[in-house]
A = this chain, B = another copy of it.
Amino acid sequence: MTETPLAPDTLEKLKSVSTATISTQLIKIAGMRTRTVRSVHAINPANASFVGPVVTLRYGPMREDLDARASIVHEDNPTRKAIETAPRGSVLMIDMHGDTGGGALGDILVARLIYRGIAAAVGDGAMRDIGPLMDMGLPVFCKTGTAPPSSASIFAVGVQEPIGCGGVLVYPGDIAVGDADGVVVIPRHLADKVATAGLEQEQVEAFIKARVLKGEPIAGFYPATERTMTEYRAWVSSGRPAI
């Protein structure tokens, strides 16, 4: 599949848009209600924000006699391939079938991801070395931390395939965005639209929130009405003064 090109400022715009807003836009723009990765959270909620195109990695359940081949010593090991070929700025998304019996990534592999400039790692299972990971700076999302290595429970079978991750269908090249609410995956062909509409919504809602905290009732004001937008635009024109 040749990748739809993105507008040059799409990723930059998305850095200012919350996953909550993106979810809303995906429903408005495309009727999509199923784009939030279920059951994962940021290991370090204070370091949860990221945006980037997806590189996929897929695990199946382990089989006892495949331990040796599971090792990333092997050149064709899918984990190694994913880590070594993912472009700078990309997001590694891992289909672990929801299994939490072993951690897909630990501190050394995360060290490599950091060196290679990966933007974030997301797996719908476990990660290990959670203590060190909290301070290493890479946003990592998973269901839980656990001590055993991945080979105790799962086995890497493919890279850059379509995968399911936490109930979301993910294609390589889709745009993943994360924050404290979790991770949303935007189908690549919708990313420009979602970024533009999302950024606008974000700015309007900052205005609304400030007004509501000062006592503006919700009725007729939120969700944004004609009046809200008129007042918003007036406020923008007047240079966005403190509310």
Contact A134–B61 (Cβ < 8 Å): no
Contact A146–B63 (Cβ < 8 Å): no
Residue A139 CB within 8 A of the other chain = no
Per-residue contact bits, chain A 201-214, to B (CB 8 Å; 1 contact, 0 not) = 00001001100111
Residue A241 CB within 8 A of the other chain = no
Contact A212–B112 (Cβ < 8 Å): yes
Residue A27 CB within 8 A of the other chain = yes
In chain A, residues 136-168, which have Cβ atoms closer than 8 Å to a Cβ of chain B?
A: 144-149, 151-153, 155, 157-158, 161-164, 167-168
Tell which of B164, B181, B217 touches A60, judged by Cβ atoms closer than 8 Å. Answer: B164
Residue A193 CB within 8 A of the other chain = no
In chain A, residues 82-103, which have Cβ atoms closer than 8 Å to a Cβ of chain B?
A: 83-84, 97-101, 103
Contacts of A170 in B (CB 8 A): 60
Contact A108–B36 (Cβ < 8 Å): no
Contact B181–A129 (Cβ < 8 Å): yes
Residue A197 CB within 8 A of the other chain = no
Residue A7 CB within 8 A of the other chain = no
Q: Which residue of chain B has its CB nearest to the CB of A127?
A: B181
Q: Which residues of A contact B (CB under 8 A)?
A: 18-20, 22-24, 27, 30-36, 38-39, 41, 45, 48, 59-66, 71-73, 75, 80, 83-84, 97-101, 103, 106-109, 111-112, 114-115, 128-131, 134, 144-149, 151-153, 155, 157-158, 161-164, 167-170, 179-182, 184, 187, 205, 208-209, 212-215, 217-219, 222-223, 225
